[in-house]
Amino acid sequence: MVGDAAQNPASSSSSSIRGGEQTSCSSAIRPRGSRVCAACSHQRRRCPPDCPLAPYFPACKRGEFLNAHRLFGIKNLTRSLASIEEEYRDDFMVSIIYEANARAADPAGGCQSTIKSLYDQLRCSLAELRFVNQQLAFHRSRHHEMQLAAAMADFGPPLQPARRYDGPIPGRVSIGPRDFSEAQSLVISRGFACTDSGAAVPFCSDGSLKSRSVKF
């Protein structure tokens, strides 16, 4: 968890190293030729003015130095620090001290335990964020529906869509093929048939129409 990471002893190192100066251990900032750093004190030697580890391991940070020394070694720290550009050295040493303190606090897990804890918290936070967004979308949609219903109530009930009418049409009689044949035989038996214009035309006995003589 983030709160657990804040309680990690390695977190205090990040606040003490910025710009090559000590903030949380200001009393340990030594003038030249004064108190030796934790690295030189561990090696029982005089601390030179240009000691590369002095800004990061003052005398009051002996515990952090021992953690870094056990995990990386003084030679590796000095060699790695010299191979990095000066503008990135502070960030490099913050990472080194953090990892060393995390390994000292949890020899089995080290930084992995902290990373896993932060990842689990991030995953839970993302799941909670997705749930909140779903709830917001649901309530916004519901609010929009309520506003639409209130607006429709001011204009009366909504119009119903037109339905297709399949029933009988008044004034018309629907007949089938059988009814048509019976009506045709009845007309033929009477000797007349109706044309499209409504005029009666006489039939012959064989059922054909009689021809009319047209006078000009």
With cut-offs at 50, 70 and 90, classify the pLDDT of residue 151.
Answer: confident
Q: CA 156: distance to chain centroid?
A: 41
User: What's the pLDDT score for residue 67?
Assistant: 93
Residue 83 has pLDDT above 50, yes or no: yes
Identify which of 93, 83, 99 has the alpha carbon closest to the alpha carbon of residue 57. Answer: 93
Which two structure tokens, joined as six digits, stand for 151? 């607006």
CB of 102 within 8 A of CB of 110?
Answer: yes
CB of 59 within 8 A of CB of 28?
Answer: yes
User: What's the pLDDT score for residue 166?
Assistant: 67
158 vs 80 pLDDT, higher one = 80
Separation CA 100–CA 108 (nearest Å)? 13
User: 90-103 pLDDT, tens per residue?
Assistant: 999 999 999 999 99
Residue with tokens 């983030």: 2
User: For residue 155, what are the CA distances in angstroms to 145, 146, 149, 151?
Assistant: 16, 15, 10, 7
Q: Residues 163-171: what's their mean pLDDT?
A: 64
The residues, ordered by sequence, that sit 6+ positions from 77 with a Cβ below 8 Å of its Cβ are: 53, 68, 69, 96
User: What's the pLDDT score for residue 93?
Assistant: 93
Residue 152 has pLDDT above 80, yes or no: no
* Phi, psi dihedrals of residue 161, rounded to the nearest 5°: -65, 145
Q: Residues 141-149: what's their mean pLDDT?
A: 88
User: What's the pLDDT score for residue 109?
Assistant: 87
How many beta carbons lie within 10 A of that of residue 37, not counting itself?
24
pTM of the model: 0.48
The residues, ordered by sequence, that sit 6+ positions from 216 with a Cβ below 8 Å of its Cβ are: none
Direct distance between the N- and C-terminal alpha carbons of the chain, in angstroms, rounded to an integer? 114
CB of 59 within 8 A of CB of 36?
Answer: yes
Mean pLDDT of the chain: 74
